[in-house]
Amino acid sequence: MDEKKAVHSGTAVSSTAVPVHTDTTAKWFLLSAVVYFFIVGIVAIILAAKFIWPEMLGTVATLTYGRLRPLHVNGMLFGWLLAADMGLVYYLVPRLCGVKLWSEKLGVATAILWNFIILSAVVVLLGGWNQGLEYAELPLWLDVLVVVAWIMFGWNIFATVAKRKYVQMYVSVWYIMGTILWTAFVYLVGNFAVLFATGVNQANLNWMYVHNAVGLIFTPVGLALAYYFIPKSGNIPLYSHKLSMIGFWSLAFIYVWTGAHHMLHGPISQWLQTIAIFFSVMLLVPVWTVVYNFFATMKGQWELLQTRVELKFLMSGVVFYLLTCFQGPMHSLRSVNALVSKTDWIPGHAHMAVLGAFSFFAIAGTLYTVPRIFKTRLHSASMANWSFWFMMIGGLGFFVTLWLGGLWQGWQWNNPAIPFIDTVVALGPVWTVRFFSGVLIFLGIVLFLYDIVATAIGASGSEPIEDAA
């Protein structure tokens, strides 16, 4: 194969040098994200406790449920998960493109701005400065800063991709570029256009944003990470790149239509509800292409899960991704929706997506990446393993309990003879299990934080590992 053809098709060209990556931006984003994961985890525990002891901290305005809940949601989504995703994107895009990051200075400036946004969000949300729209609680001036930070991030990544060494891009790069563009669309509609709409139209735009925040922001960037870290952690090639492209393009054309399924049986048009249901069920296509590809990649390699903790997180995340993406289309069916909508089933489903699937991908990526960018070894693989089992057992307890509780709640709500307050009291045992499951998840977060920080701190005091080559 001649050099030109090799570069076009993506085969490594031996004559070109491997660029030296400084990864300063990735370090900033990943370390701050892990710290936010811990801090917002404390908020999550307080919220779970309030379900059992509603009076707890109830007299302190800043610590009431209404202030802490948006802080938990925004903190986990933007402080932990999106920041970790961005840090990992800064790590893998230059490597996949065979060049250095376009600008580390711009990357660090983005990280500083992002941290300013997150810390400001903590202050304004605890202070009760809230737009009252789900996932879009931040005030307008912070929304503007998010857009500025996203443009800085997008510019840096696209400029890196533009100067890549290879014409043909790995599927993760496609998903990352999709994430950057789709986030622009989803965030602008969900945080700006929605402010000028009223009534049902506003609710419809808001649900389009909420659903696509997961589907067109966290899903594509999460899959970008999984497509990168599963082959890299196991040192095994992906089963089929062509199949991964089918998954990418089917996601691109299907996902955006599904948001209205949050308003089934509501005051929106029946045709709009039916379109949302149709495309929700169609989502099984991209989901299955992704899941089949990962399982086929692991075929004959499953013993790697015994030694590679990143793969444990990744493949568990894939299973949770399959489950959550099977639940989603099923929820959109009118008959199922009439039972589970607005019940505790939904937070069970949402936590499986954001924690079980996408946070597991980000945790795996962080465990893989941090030792490499600090040029050292992971502080403790055993601690990472314990972290996995705490999160796995706690997560399963959390998800399954809320599904069962949600079904029970839905059945009670569909019986008009049962007073509403009785349905609240009945869920007490469910919320107790939820709290203790949350404690287990939090213990996993604490171990993960310690492991990552100890790796980073330990690296500064030790000599870099000698080149084995």
Partner 1 sequence: MQDYTYPSIFLAYLLFAVFAGGALYFLIRSIKDGYWGKDSEEVKYRMLADEENKYGE
- Interaction site with partner 1 (CB under 8 A): 8-12, 18, 21, 95-96, 98, 166-170, 172, 181-182, 185, 188-189, 193-199, 201-202, 205, 208, 228, 231-232, 235, 237-238, 240-242, 245, 249, 252-253, 256, 368, 371-372, 375-378, 465, 467-469
279, 258 Cβ separation under 8 angstroms: yes
Q: 10 Å Cβ neighbour count for 394?
A: 21
What is the 8-class DSSP label of residue 374?
T
Q: What is the greatest pairwise CA distance in the chain?
A: 77
DSSP string covering 292-321: HHHHHHHTT-GGGGGT-HHHHHHHHHHHHH
In 3D, which of 21, 19, 1, 17 has the Cα closest to residue 9?
1
Round to whole Å and give the CA distance between 339 and 343: 8
DSSP helix/strand/coil, 250: helix
The alpha carbon of 91 is separated from its chain's Cα centroid by a whole number of angstroms, namely: 17
Round to whole Å and give the CA distance between 149 and 138: 15
Burial label for 323, CB within 10 Å (0-12, 13-18, 19+), is: middle
Q: What's the chain's Rg over C-alpha atoms? A: 22
What is the 8-class DSSP label of residue 20?
P
137, 57 Cβ separation under 8 angstroms: no
Which CB, 5 or 417, lies closer to partner 1?
5
